[in-house]
A and B are shown apart, each in its own frame.
Chain A
Amino acid sequence: MSTDEQPDILELRKRIASNKLRDHIFWILGLLSTLIGFGLLFTLIIDLFIDGFPRLSWHFFTSYPSRFPEQAGILSAWVGTTLVMIATAATAVPLGIAAGIYLEEYGKKNWLTSLIEINMNNLAGVPSIIYGLLALGLFVYFLKFGESILTGGLTLGLLILPMVVIATRESIRAIPNSIREASYALGASKWQTIKDHIIPYSSGGILTGMIIGLSRAIGETAPIITVGALTFIAFLPSSPVTSGFPFLSFKWLLDPFTVMPIQMFNWISRPQTAFHLNAAAAGIVLMVMTLVMNGFAIYVRYRFRKRIKW
């Protein structure tokens, strides 16, 4: 452009003003969308609290379900949820981490790994009731684990397995190749490199993926109903700790159980309003359990990010 050509300042200013107007419109649209989402969630939570909060008491946590809404509690439900979560984590975490490491570090890039990868991504989107049907056939009838905590844990473990695998792979992929080369150049073997570098440096992301998976599993109802969790249960599974040697017992794995969402579902489907309040109170507890898990995930991620920067 020649320097003596006078640019049309007015035209330029009009252009800028119109660009700025679009900016503003989008800003308002974005803000509205955010507020709608957030507002709805907030209303739900407030509603839950208004209904359920008065029911929260020590008694509520230490009582079994009952025909009388004032006496009913969530003891068997929260114990069941906790135990099922332990079984779920014990299933999904080792399997998921090992599979993720295999796919990233060992698996050669060929049609088989591509197939596994596509399947893995699809599995993450399979409706949970399908997992319930699979578990009913496989764990309950074929392997004869019964309608037990073990079955529930394995089912939910399978459900969140793809999430753990994907989280593991992504955090492994975030490790720069120069770190692997540094390790190999010192004469480390593949396993030494994985054990000393890959796993420690990706554990923040792996833990986050695991807890996000567990947060999903804790609220699942459909597959758990499918495998036959009880809706009314007035006893606890056997204790994992025993007084005699070896002080640990795994008998609880084969005991029947119920979980929080099923207890809520049971209460909400009754006609009496008092039971609905119980369901709201159980909802608060379930939400707090989930928030605590998520908070823990965020804290862990923060700790690891602070220590590791690429």
Chain B
Amino acid sequence: MIPEKLKAEVKGLNFYYNDLKALKDIHLPIANKLITALIGPSGCGKTTYLRCFNRMHDLYPNNRYEGEIILYPERVNIVDPRIDPIEVRMRISMVFQKPNPFPKTVFENVAYGLRVRGEHKKSLIDEKVERALKQAALWDEVKDRIDDLAFNLSGGQQQRLCIARALATNPEILLFDEPTSALDPTATAKIEELIRQLKKEVTIIIVTHNMQQAARVSDYTAFMYLGEIIEFDRTDKVFTRPSHKLTEEYITGRFG
């Protein structure tokens, strides 16, 4: 195990799409207020795994979890069917692969999570929207066009808007599903810097197919292959002295 305080712990997690076993007996600690990266070739199950954390699989029929994802400090198993997925999603936010802002204004995008929670007080919403946009390093760029449609922003700005939208409700964990795969290098650099900044405030799990990105931003890295965790360790260790041959082959680009 790892020396840091834990935010979550995955114990014996299996996941099935119908009869297809997509995740096989996964064990993984998630360190509090650090960044855990998941790397692995396409189709290895990393996105499937990430989407277990906010129960996105519950949106579609015939999906089934087995095992536990324990959320600390109160040690609740968030994949337990008795736990309401909405409760889980209110505590754990997600940023998707492609920027997916709502066709609403910049302000309304960020405010939506608060509105879902029944927040009506305008002063409070204003304050939280501004704070979230500042956290997402977007405030300076959009403060004069907060009532413009989100679609008028650039791709990178849209993705930071989605980050602000996820942050506005103070999530305990923030999930990133290949957040820069649709962005150019400049926008990618900004998002990576932002992710590094955010770990002061929130626990982060990031899925990426870009190994340099994992090496640059994360504290811990897990390498997944065919639905299994092959290796998990401190990021510098995984990238300099991988203990598993498959990991070494993957990070040196021999397959994947």
Partner of B113, one of A176, A187, A189, A308: A187
* Chain B 97-109 interface 0/1 with A at a Cβ cutoff of 8 Å (1 = within): 0101111000000
Task: Given A186-B93, A186-B169, verify A181-B100 contact (CB < 8 Å).
Answer: yes
Complex contact A184–B169 (CB within 8 A): no
CA–CA, A183 to B166, complex, Å?
10
CA–CA, A160 to B213, complex, Å?
55
Distance between A146 CB and nearest chain B CB, rounded to angstroms: 46
Interface size class of A (residues with CB under 8 A): 20 to 34
Interface size class of B (residues with CB under 8 A): 20 to 34
Task: List, in ascending order, chain A residues with CB within 8 A of B166's CB.
Answer: 185-186
Task: List, in ascending order, chain A residues with CB within 8 A of B87's CB.
Answer: 187
Task: List, in ascending order, chain B residues with CB within 8 A of A183's CB.
Answer: 102, 112
Q: Which of B58-74 contact A (CB under 8 A)?
A: 59, 61
Partner of B116, one of A108, A186, A201, A309: A186
Residues of A contacting B: mostly: helix
Task: Given A185-B54, A186-B116, A187-B113, verify A178-B98 contact (CB < 8 Å).
Answer: yes
Name B113's closest neighbour in chain A (CB-CB): A186
Distance between B222 CB and nearest chain A CB, rounded to angstroms: 22
CA–CA, A187 to B169, complex, Å?
10
Complex contact A308–B103 (CB within 8 A): yes
Number of A-B contacts (CB under 8 A): 62
A192 is an interface residue with CB less than 8 A from chain B: yes
Distance between B86 CB and nearest chain A CB, rounded to angstroms: 5
CA–CA, A180 to B60, complex, Å?
12
CA–CA, A309 to B56, complex, Å?
25
Partner of A187, one of B59, B98, B117: B117
B6 is an interface residue with CB less than 8 A from chain A: no
A196 is an interface residue with CB less than 8 A from chain B: yes
Distance between A95 CB and nearest chain B CB, rounded to angstroms: 27
Sample of 16 A–B contacts (CB below 8 Å): A178-B96, A178-B98, A179-B100, A179-B102, A183-B112, A184-B56, A185-B96, A185-B166, A186-B113, A187-B116, A188-B112, A188-B116, A192-B116, A196-B115, A308-B103, A309-B151
A residues sitting closer than 8 Å to B (CB atoms) are 108, 176, 178-189, 192, 196-197, 201, 307-309
**Known interface pairs A185-B94, A187-B116, A187-B117; 13 further A-B residue pairs with C-beta atoms within 8 A, sorted by A's residue number:** A178-B98, A181-B96, A182-B102, A184-B59, A184-B89, A185-B54, A185-B93, A185-B96, A185-B166, A186-B113, A186-B166, A188-B116, A197-B102
